Amino acid sequence: MTDLPRVTVWNEYHEERRLPEVARHYPEGIHAVLRAGLLAHGMVQVRTATLEEPGHGLGEAVLEATDVLVWWGHRRHADVDDAVVARVQAAVLSGMGLVVLHSAHMSKIFRALMGTSCTLNWRHDGERERLWVVAPAHPIAAGIDRYFELEQEEMYGEPFGIPTPDEIVFMSWFQGGEVFRSGSTFSRGRGRIFYFQPGHETFPTYHHPLVQLVIANAVRWAAPGDAGRKGWKNAQVPPIEPIS
Ligand code: ZN
């Protein structure tokens, strides 16, 4: 299972249909480019789901057949149904991996799983970003040298209102001076979560080969292990041995 995770890429798919400056990079949607990147990295089962599909394309059967869910959203976080959020949250707690991208830091699902504000400082001036690898032995950083750069990205700056991550894999510097924990891991229940900051919709970020590599690494890392997925319930249990 860990070699070839079954992936679902979820995208709100809104700005690409509205704004020419987004459509020129993502004519078929951000989800299509993310999917192509994962297929290029050897994954085979990569489906997509979008906001306007019934149940946002994230019905029980889809989630059961998903090892790792990748999430991109920006404008329409509030339109995501709370029942779907609860379903995704339960899936993560039972072991489904979740890769949260860019402005999905304010998605309902990420904030529910973090339990904090998830707010940050931002500036949309298209400045250079340098992503430093701060955990070179981490599998999500495999194949990345000391750092890599994006010519233009949206600045996301600290303080980032997240709980202390299990590991910080990438720390970013922006041309305007800020730093940001741009690649962080978390665990919730049996599920693994990776937040990755690059991906503002007016830039071609998800076409960048190293961004695609990081996301593919993250999907492999977040996939449930051989133990698979298992839900949670309160259970009254007998003692292991007689109590005297
Ligand atoms: Zn953005």
pLDDT per residue as tens digits for the range 94-152: 999 999 999 999 999 999 999 999 999 999 999 999 999 999 999 999 999 999 999 99
Q: Residue 149: what pLDDT?
A: 98
Domain count, the chain: 1
pTM above 0.95, yes or no: yes
**Closest C-alpha to 16, from 48, 38, 41, 44:** 48
User: Does any domain span residue 243?
Assistant: no
| Ligand 1 centroid to residue 106 C-alpha, Å | 11
Q: Residue 177: what pLDDT?
A: 98
User: Does any domain span residue 139?
Assistant: no
| Ligand 1 centroid to residue 157 C-alpha, Å | 12
| Ligand 1 centroid to residue 216 C-alpha, Å | 21
| Ligand 1 centroid to residue 123 C-alpha, Å | 9
Q: What is the average pLDDT across 76-86? A: 98
User: Does any domain span residue 99?
Assistant: yes
| Ligand 1 centroid to residue 164 C-alpha, Å | 23
**Closest C-alpha to 10, from 31, 26, 24, 29:** 31
Q: What is the average pLDDT across 78-87? A: 98
User: Does any domain span residue 190?
Assistant: yes
Q: Residue 26: what pLDDT?
A: 98
β pairing state of 179-188 and 191-196: antiparallel
**Residue-range definition of the domain harbouring residue 56:** 7-115+184-222
| Ligand 1 centroid to residue 225 C-alpha, Å | 32
Compute the mean pLDDT over every residue in the chain, rounded to the nearest whole number.
97
User: Does any domain span residue 103?
Assistant: yes
User: Does any domain span residue 229?
Assistant: no
Sequence letter at residue 227? A
| Ligand 1 centroid to residue 223 C-alpha, Å | 26
CATH number of the domain encompassing residue 77: 3.40.50.880
pLDDT digits (tens, 9 = 90+) for 7-45: 999 999 999 999 999 999 999 999 999 999 999 999 999
Q: Residue 2: what pLDDT?
A: 46
| Ligand 1 centroid to residue 143 C-alpha, Å | 26
| Ligand 1 centroid to residue 19 C-alpha, Å | 14
Q: Residue 76: what pLDDT?
A: 98
User: Does any domain span residue 129?
Assistant: no
User: Does any domain span residue 163?
Assistant: no
Q: Residue 141: what pLDDT?
A: 98
Residue 188 zone, left/alpha/beta (φ > 0; ψ -120 to 50; rest):
beta
The CA distance from 109 to 147, in Å, is 29
| Ligand 1 centroid to residue 105 C-alpha, Å | 10
β pairing state of 167-174 and 121-133: antiparallel
Q: Residue 226: what pLDDT?
A: 80
| Ligand 1 centroid to residue 159 C-alpha, Å | 17
| Ligand 1 centroid to residue 197 C-alpha, Å | 9
Determine what percent of the chain is predicted with pLDDT higher than 90.
97
pLDDT digits (tens, 9 = 90+) for 190-225: 999 999 999 999 999 999 999 999 999 999 999 998
| Ligand 1 centroid to residue 188 C-alpha, Å | 26
| Ligand 1 centroid to residue 182 C-alpha, Å | 13
Q: Residue 1: what pLDDT?
A: 45
| Ligand 1 centroid to residue 18 C-alpha, Å | 15
| Ligand 1 centroid to residue 26 C-alpha, Å | 14
| Ligand 1 centroid to residue 199 C-alpha, Å | 7
Alpha helices in the chain (DSSP H): 20-23, 30-40, 60-64, 82-93, 108-114, 209-222
